[in-house]
Amino acid sequence: MSWQYLAEGPPLTGGDRGVVVVVAVIALAALAVGYVLLKEVLAAGQGTSKMQDIAKAVQEGAGAYLKRQRNTLMIFGSIVFVVLFFLPAEGWGERIGRSLFFVIGAVFSFGIGYLGMWLATQANLRVAAASREEGGREIAMRVAFRTGGVVGMATVGLGLFGAAVVVLVYAGGAPKVLEGFGFGAALIAMFMRVGGGIFTKAADVGADLVGKVEQGIPEDDPRNAATIADNVGDNVGDCAGMAADLFESYAVTLVAALILGSTAFGAQGLLFPLIVPALGVITAVIGVYITRAKPGESGLTAINRSFYISALISAVLCTIAAFVFLPTSFSELTEAADPNTSGSPALIAAVAVIIGIVLAGVILWLTGYFTGTEYKPVKDVGKSSLTGAATVILSGISVGFESAVYTALVIGASVYGAFLLSGSLFVALFAIALAGCGLLTTVGVIVAMDTFGPVSDNAQGIAEMSGDVEGDGAAILTELDAVGNTTKAITKGIAIATAVLAATALFGSYLTAITEALAEAASTLDLMDFIVFSPDVLVGIAIGAAVVFMFSGLAVNAVSRAAGAVVFEVRRQFHANPGIMDGTVRPEYGRVVDICTRDSLRELATPGLMAVLAPIAVGFGLGVGPLAGYLAGAIATGTLMAVFLANAGGAWDNAKKLVEDGNHGGKGSEAHAATVIGDTVGDPFKDTAGPAINPLIKVMNLVSLLIAPAVVTFSVGADANTGLRVAIAIVAALLIAGAVFISKRRGTAIAENPADSPVSNGVS
């Protein structure tokens, strides 16, 4: 195998370029379908003037937050843009392209997040209004799901178009440039996930603890000063954050597949990963349009049916494409890197894609089982509320732990199954990347499922705050909200699966980058440096696992601090203005929105610096072998941690819904108060720390991939410089330590003097 060939990449013929152009056209068609769905959503009725006023307040708060977040991210992005420009690459063209497409990936990621937020704040009002109409259940569900369909089409359209343009312009050099595209998407998604997650859960926890537990008023009662912030948070966290997250999953998986495809299959391997998601556009359109709930049928059943149908269509189309586009022998591949590999490229590709599609379906079922109100785990958590909050917490933690084991085993089986498809390491890794592409053929429907949740939640909030939706309409929105809790949990499970598949595939790219750098330094790769029982590699594994724990702890602690500030502000308003409770005084909603905005944005720096600098500290300080161990530890621990946090939180949330539906004493009972406590613990689990681990894993993998050549250059050969290498590691470690220290020293919202607390003044 020629490493020079790998560096330059396979050339593209005129026919190959024609395929890429067709893929780009399909991507633009996805954007056109999204526009049609957008017009349909905006054409729906907007309800009463009071409902519109509430929706406007939510829209203004969400827009203001994302504008301030954009300004914060531009500073960080500008620094990374410059750093990328000076990292090693094959010529200045690739350096410029990598930095340029870093910006494009970041802009696309933020743009999709902003679109998700903006449209959700328009659709929540329309879903609430639809519930009041005749046939309201079907209309409301259609509007909510097609809102997500718009974002889904934007995700597949922009992700596929960006990748196609890079391949068209850079041909064989596209993988290096795409590293920047994927890194930009992943970095911004992580920031949006963390910042939005802190905002939404600070408001949600604060609103629940004071409103529902202390004052005994409903969740979205307009007398609670945190209600507007809570609804804003659903949009900037669940919609904007998750939309950006799924876009970067899409982009990074494509990056991994394209890098490894050009190595394993030559030019065809550079093109087939584009064909698979292009077919996914077709199935996404079908999945969005066939989602209809039959009379008396659960909304979740209808959504799951659409998902399974679109997944089946994807499997059939991708199998046909594999046997039409790829040969049945490696010797027939155009300029294959290793033509002597045994097996059929077409069969390997088809089976790998099917493995990914099946994985998505299994995770959908598995997550639905552990978080759905109709299944035993959530029913058991709800039943435990009869003995108090402590048993609710314990039973939810148990559900989270157990579900993480099964999900990790399923993901592991998929990775290993794809790996066994070939005896060649690079082909096997490409198969794993193709499994990720297969999973993401359903991403259009996945995004629709995710957006469905916060839109339905917000619609119920607007209905309750306005008081203009009662009877059957209120029941419809309650049902859709419960369905949305489960669909959000499902999409989080699928997102972490894509992270594992993409990160595992990127190991191959990491190995390629190291080998190329060693060849340039006239050195060779010693595989003993990567053996797991080597002490330095074990240290790397332990550090990788520890970073996931620290990252999660920082995220949860940030929510705790911000939520504390919200609690004290809402208590202060109840105490200072007794008229709020009898409805004669309007709460100061804007103050809570400002608190959540300020606290969430100031908490972005520490986890962001850790994600970027920790691989740098390990790589330059310990070497490429321990850095590989670091990534392995982060992937393994991150998988378990993310699923545990997401599913435990989902179980607590739906256990609360179960009690609010009249079980175990219903609203206002001690059991209800216990499940509210469980839900407040679960909120930062499922909507802040858990989802943020997904982009964290990919950011760390991409940083490692980008710095690997520099680590090798400073370690061996004529350019070796131990002093500079160690200095870089020490500076990175000190920056992380300083950021964590400053974060821990920030004042919490809890009064140092109990006499200063409103609770001591008779407010309870």
State pLDDT tens for residues 243-273. 787 788 778 888 788 878 877 887 788 889 8
Number of C-beta neighbours around residue 45 at 10 A: 13
Cα–Cα distance for residue pair 761/220, rounded to 1 Å:
26
For residues 211-233, one letter each, b for 16 or more C-beta atoms within 10 angstroms of the residue's C-beta and e for the rest, the string is: bbebbebbbbbbbbbbbbbbbbb
Taking only the tens place, the pLDDT of each residue in 579-591 is: 888 878 888 888 8
pLDDT digit string, tens, across residues 227-248 = 888 878 777 777 777 778 778 8
pLDDT at 334 over 80: no
Question: Using 50, 70 and 90 to split pLDDT, how confident is the model at 749?
Answer: very low
Task: Compute the CA torsion angle 563, 569, 574, 576 (nearest 10 deg).
Answer: 160
**pLDDT > 70 in the chain, percent:** 92
Return all residues near 549 (Cβ < 8 A) that are at least 6 apart. Answer: 637, 641
pLDDT score for 750: 43
Q: Kindly report the backbone phi and psi dihedral angles of residue 265, in degrees, each rounded to the nearest multiple of 5, phi listed first.
A: -115, 5
pLDDT of residue 755: 37
Tokens found for residue 632: 């392995």
The mean-pLDDT minimum among 133-147, 247-261, 369-383, 515-529 falls in 515-529
If one compares 2 and 130, the residue with the highest pLDDT of the two is 130
pLDDT over 60 at 428, yes or no: yes
Res 320: pLDDT = 95
For the chain, what is the total number of helices (H) and then of strands (E)?
A: 23, 0
The total number of residues shown for the chain amounts to 764
Phi, psi of 102 (to 5 degrees): -60, -45
Residue-level pLDDT at 290: 87
Q: Give the pLDDT of residue 319.
A: 95
Distance CA 155, CA 248 (A): 9
How far apart (Å, rounded) are the C-alpha atoms in residues 231 and 58?
6
Average pLDDT of every residue of the chain: 83
For residue 7, what are the CA distances in angstroms to 1, 128, 580? 12, 55, 67
| pLDDT over threshold 80, residue 51 | yes
Which pairs count as long-range contacts for 412-420, CB under 8 Å and 24+ apart, including other chains?
Answer: 414/355, 414/356, 414/358, 414/359, 414/497, 414/501, 415/500, 415/501, 415/504, 417/355, 418/352, 418/355, 418/356
Q: How do residues 278-330 score in pLDDT, each as one tens digit?
A: 998 889 899 888 888 777 778 888 888 888 999 999 999 999 999 998 888 87
* Average pLDDT value for residue range 67-78: 82
pLDDT digits (tens, 9 = 90+) for 103-122: 998 999 888 888 888 888 88
Structure tokens at 359: 């994985």
Is pLDDT larger for residue 745 or for residue 123?
123
Residue that the structure tokens 């999900």 belong to: 407
Q: Is the pLDDT of residue 338 over 90?
A: no
pLDDT at 190 over 70: yes
Model pLDDT, residue 760:
32
Predicted local distance difference test score (pLDDT) of residue 525: 60
Give me the percent of the chain exceeding a pLDDT of 90.
Answer: 24
Most confident by average pLDDT, 101-115, 177-191, 212-226:
101-115
